[in-house]
Amino acid sequence: MASQTQGIQQLLAAEKRADEKVNQARKRKALKLKKAKEEAQAEVLRFREERERQFKEYEKQHMGSKETNAALIEETTVIKIEEMKHTVAANKSKVIDYLISQAFNVEAKVHQNFIVAVNK
């Protein structure tokens, strides 16, 4: 009977050791999964940052920066305004003379539709 009790005790101790090993294996597995997840997230973040950097470089090469575009637009606008000012200065007197002549030199004549109606 004592040997039977001793055998049962050995079995219980072996079961306890097996449970401990299984629990340790589960903990190691959970740690490995957690570490793998963190590494994957870090890799995704690095990949995203690299792609963003590449996109910004591509955008800068092909589209220019906003400041460059704004400066170019500003420069073009100033040039066109100056051209318009010179054109206005050169043609101002001609336009004023033309408008005055059109306002004061009115030819009084009967409209052509009225002439057709009278002749009928």
DSSP states of 4-46: HHHHHHHHHHHHHHHHHHHHHHHHHHHHHHHHHHHHHHHHHHH
Question: What pLDDT, on a 0 to 100 scale, did the predictor assign at position 120?
Answer: 64
Task: For residue range 2-49, list pLDDT tens digits in order.
Answer: 677 888 999 999 999 999 999 999 999 999 999 999 999 999 999 999
Question: What value does the mean pLDDT of the chain take?
Answer: 90
